[in-house]
Amino acid sequence: EKNGFDTFMLKEIHEQPRAYQDTMRGRINAGQEIVLPDIALTSAEVRQLKHIHLIACGTAYHAALIGKTVIERLTRIPVEVDLASEYRYRMPVIGENTLVIAVSQSGETADTLAAMRQAKYWGARVMAITNVIGSSVAREADDVLFTLAGPEIAVASTKAYSSQLIAFYLLGLYMAQSLKTLDDTAIAGLIAMLEKLPLQLVSMLRNMNPIRQVAERIAENDHLFFIGRGLDCSLAMEASLKLKEISYIHSEAYAAGELKHGSLALIEENTPVIALATQEELLEKTASNIKEVKARGAYVIALALEGCTGLEKVADQVIYVPRTHPLLTPALAVVPLQMLAYYAASFRGNDVDKPRNLAKSVTVE
């Protein structure tokens, strides 16, 4: 049932183009408009929203961090993101016009479920983004936006994460339509780029050799850094978690601009730094952070957009990602990072599908 792949994780990574298509299917009308027939939240209700809170754990939390930027940029509604295990205890300010969105692949994560029940108790309307029909989160939410990634077996989440990004793009655009924060042309433009993502992924997946070489190099290291700004910072957190959980290499994800406030002290000769630099408006700043770590001896692997020439002189190695709208870039850029974790774990001889100490569905708080 691994469909010719050695592991479920590798199979699921390769299922992402399909997962994107399935998650978009029936939700885009003639390339012009987002329709979400499964959710009851009306345009009038969207216009009433004052705050959105996103709650999730682990990888789903990292998807929510991207979701925050996407929703805020498209709608200008303020969005907060919380770890589900923290949300309940911090007494969040919830009003009548607060929408709480629980993000969970399995729909059974105890922390997420508990936070969601608490939010309901406090009077919030609760929406779920989940991959499992009939799951507890799906049953208890007022609205459910399903990701249609298909069953995810590998403990390390891949296609569920990236499909959650697709769900956030759809939801953000749906809200933007209701609020008229974007005009029809801008929406159609974003939809066109969204619809191109699956094919772009297919071509990326054909050429993973450069990232395999990077993995071979870092597999010997005990610790490394991922750095990035903006969406790349959120993506760095996911890349770091993926690497830790299956390769057991310690890594930290850092906002590129924050390193110099302390952690730069950990950079030594040959410490690998994986610099995510796919957000062009932030490129110059990230490039100067790359220079900071290079000057302390780091070995820098940069992830940049195709056609970006500025980094070849500052980084030791550059991996390229196809161009799309900046908000959509994480849905492509995540793939080489998943493969980096995959190859590093394989080089170390680890059981990729069943990492030590972890369970697929975490039903204790």
Q: Site residues (CB under 6 A) for ligand F6R?
A: 57-60, 104-106, 109, 112, 156-157, 241, 245, 361-362
- What's the min distance (Å) between Cβ of 9 and ligand F6R? 10
What whole-number distance in Å separates Cα of residue 326 and Cα of residue 193?
10
Active site residues: 360
Nearest approach, Cβ of residue 350 and ligand F6R (Å): 14
Element (H, E) at 295: helix 283-295
Q: Indicate the residue among 126 and 314 with the shorter CB distance to ligand F6R.
A: 126
To which H or E segment does residue 300 belong? strand 299-305
Residue 43, amino acid: S
Q: Which tokens hold the place of 47? A: 């216009």
Residue 342 three-state SS: helix
What does the alpha-carbon distance between residue 340 and residue 243 come to, in Å, rounded to a whole number? 7
**Residue sitting closest to ligand F6R (CB):** 58
Instruction: Say how far apart CA 245 and CA 247 lie, in whole Å.
Output: 6
Q: Residue 110 CB, nearest distance to ligand F6R (Å)?
A: 9
Alpha-carbon span 337 to 318, nearest angstrom: 13
Sign of the alpha-carbon torsion through 86, 224, 255, 155: negative
Q: How many Å apart are CA 16 and CA 291, to the nearest integer?
A: 34
Strand partners, 79: 52
How many CA atoms within 13 Å lie on the side-chain side of 215? 24
Q: Which is nearer to ligand F6R, 112 or 178 (CB)?
A: 112
Nearest to ligand F6R of 23, 178 (CB atom) = 23
Q: Which residue, 111 or 290, is less far from ligand F6R as judged by CB?
A: 111
CA 243 to chain centre: 14
For the bound state, the minimum distance from the C-beta of residue 109 to ligand F6R, rounded and expressed in Å, comes to 3
Q: Where does residue 134 fall: left (phi above 0), alpha (psi -120 to 50 degrees), or beta otherwise?
A: left
Strands (E), 116-222: 125-130, 143-146
Q: For the CB of residue 276, give the shortest distance to ligand F6R in the complex, in Å.
A: 18
The residue (of 247 and 286) whose beta carbon lies closer to ligand F6R is 247
Q: Nearer to ligand F6R by C-beta: 58 or 230?
A: 58
Our CB check for ligand F6R shows the closer of 100 and 314 to be: 100
Q: How far is the CB of 188 from ligand F6R (least distance, A)?
A: 32
| DSSP one-letter string for 99-143 | EEEEEESSS--HHHHHHHHHHHHTT-EEEEEES-TT-HHHHHSSE
Place of tokens 């772009």: 200
Contact 50, 80 (CB under 8 A): no
**Shortest Å, Cβ 229 to ligand F6R:** 23
